[in-house]
Amino acid sequence: MKNVIYLLIAVFLVSCGSNSSKSNYEKTITDHLLKGSDTKENLNFKIVEINEQGNVTVADSIAYLTEEFKKDKQPVISRIELAKKMSEDLLAKTKKQSDIDKYNADIAVMNTRIDSLKNLVPDNLQGYDKRNTSDVLAIIVRCKYSVQLSGTPKEETFDFYLSPDGSQGNRIKISS
């Protein structure tokens, strides 16, 4: 009997906790969307559906920043490789020793730059040095809401990236 009471209390606490976080999400999203505009009632604003989609962790952020860094440096590497190829082509056609020496020196410099760029690591990860990779940076909440503008109701769905406590956020539109 004691175990049943403990189970019921646990279920009650969990259900109250999840409703509390959803209402916190609703408040944060409503405040974000209606900031500086008419009141909620004037726009007939209603949250239709709200669901947690997942979390963004320190590891996710590091992986994203690292991948973006690789994408940004690849065009530079490609341009240097193209210049190196052109120098190699010119080297193959030249007969003058001074030109041969110049092209060889240029190719050596380009090889050094290519190697340096390929081994270059992102420099914008210092903020993560002492953080646990499983720390949550943001909670992704998908929110479908309706709003009435100019008498026409419209539904939109957005993913909101909220702070771990759900009190702040940004949105990214995913569909209408």
pLDDT score for 17: 43
What's the token pair of residue 2?
């004691």
For the entire predicted model, the pTM comes to: 0.62
User: Does 100 lie in the same domain as 70?
Assistant: yes
> What are the helix and strand counts (H, E) for the chain?
3, 4
165: domain range?
2-57+135-175
Total structural domains within the chain: 2
Where is the domain boundary, 93, 113, 128?
A: 128
pLDDT score for 4: 31
User: Does 124 lie in the same domain as 140?
Assistant: no
User: Does 103 lie in the same domain as 63?
Assistant: yes
User: Does 47 lie in the same domain as 79?
Assistant: no
User: Does 118 lie in the same domain as 87?
Assistant: yes
DSSP letters along 103-138, please? HHHHHHHHHHHHHHHHH---SS-GGGTTS-TT-EEE
User: Does 144 lie in the same domain as 111?
Assistant: no
pLDDT score for 57: 92
Where is the domain boundary, 128, 145, 163?
A: 128
> Residue 125: is it exposed, middle or buried by C-beta count within 10 angstroms (0-12/13-18/19+)?
middle
User: Does 164 lie in the same domain as 149?
Assistant: yes
User: Does 121 lie in the same domain as 76?
Assistant: yes
pLDDT score for 21: 65
Q: How far is CA 153 from CA 47, 113, 139, 147, in A?
A: 13, 57, 28, 6
pLDDT score for 28: 83
User: Does 75 lie in the same domain as 48?
Assistant: no
pLDDT score for 8: 31
User: Does 118 lie in the same domain as 145?
Assistant: no
User: Does 53 lie in the same domain as 42?
Assistant: yes
User: Does 109 lie in the same domain as 96?
Assistant: yes
pLDDT digit string (tens) for the chain, length 176 residues: 343 333 333 333 333 444 556 777 888 888 877 776 656 556 778 888 999 989 999 999 999 999 999 999 999 999 999 999 999 999 999 999 999 999 999 999 999 999 999 999 888 888 888 888 999 999 999 999 888 877 788 888 888 888 888 878 776 656 54
pLDDT score for 15: 39
